[in-house]
Amino acid sequence: MRIKILFLAVMFFGFGLSEISAQDGGEPASVTPRTISGGVVNGKATNLVKPAYPAAAKAVRAQGAVNVQVTIDEQGSVISATAVSGHPLLRAAAVEAARASKFSPTMLSGQLVKVTGVIVYNFVLPTETNQAKESEQLVSMGMVMFLTALKDIPGDAESDEILLDLSSELPASMKVEKAQFERLVRAKSQNEKAAITDEIIAQMRKNLTGTDAWMIDLGNQWGGAIGEAFKITDSEYRRDRQNFIKNLQGMGWLLESPPKDVSAESLKKIRAIAAYDNETDSITPEFINNFFKASLSFIDYIVTEGKKGN
């Protein structure tokens, strides 16, 4: 029993002496931490680098907030950065920007300290203007118009060059269409050309709705009218004009209920070109000549609008 009491006494006085000696030695009761938490640190940056918007993320329209956990050293430099939330295609760009950012040094109790915190990057896709959107749609319509017309027009070196130029303008995501354009240039017969053209247009039209689909359908009817007009002028204009008229009527039907976001200027030009009084005898050489000229003029309009949209 006595041994137990002595043991407890030693334990008691030992801890007591230890506590007293720590205080008497002049050591501070609490030491300033070397790293503190700073929460969201965007507002403390002296240079918050803006991340580039990855092309792959734009292609799939990825956007939203990305949170990057960072550690900032005593001089205000980011020494570690890890994305902890956000779209996978946006994270790498956010981390890269975070690592390059600079912050004000943080002091606590007169000492420089490291800070952990979060940088929040908000990726927002640029708003597409109506003009830019219509320009893109007009270009698609013009491409379909040209392809459809080529089904009835014998190919030559100039048309092949145009086809190759068109394929080079297609985005990288349209690999199938690029390959089809190259096949079209190598086509040995008019029938083969027509079949490949139908494949390309079907691929372009696939899954489209609204104005995008309307533009493709209009380009298809318009190109058909150009091809039929070429066949008429290439022989006798009084030959069978019913297919040409059918395409004009197809354009007219589409123009009766156009999408609301197609500009009044574009509609006015197209209606003037497609105007037809439903009288077969009105399809004269002069009518067809004017139709050709107006169609070529509209192509120039598409090119001009395309430049505005860029």
Full set of structural domains in the chain with CATH:
35-123 (3.30.2420.10), 130-309 (no CATH)
Distance of CA 240 to the CA centre of its chain: 45
Buried b (16+ CB within 10 A) or exposed e, 244-269: bbebbebbeebbeebeeebeeebeee
Say how many residues make up the chain: 310
E strand spans, the chain = 35-40, 45-47, 64-72, 78-85, 102-103, 106-108, 111-123
* pLDDT per residue of the chain (310 residues) written in tens, 0 to 9: 444 433 333 333 343 333 333 334 444 445 556 888 889 999 999 999 999 998 888 877 889 999 999 999 999 999 999 999 999 999 999 999 999 999 999 988 889 999 999 999 999 887 655 667 777 788 788 888 888 888 877 666 766 676 666 666 555 555 666 677 777 777 778 788 888 888 888 888 888 889 989 999 999 999 999 888 888 766 666 666 888 899 999 999 999 999 988 888 889 989 999 998 888 888 888 888 889 889 888 877 776 665 555 5
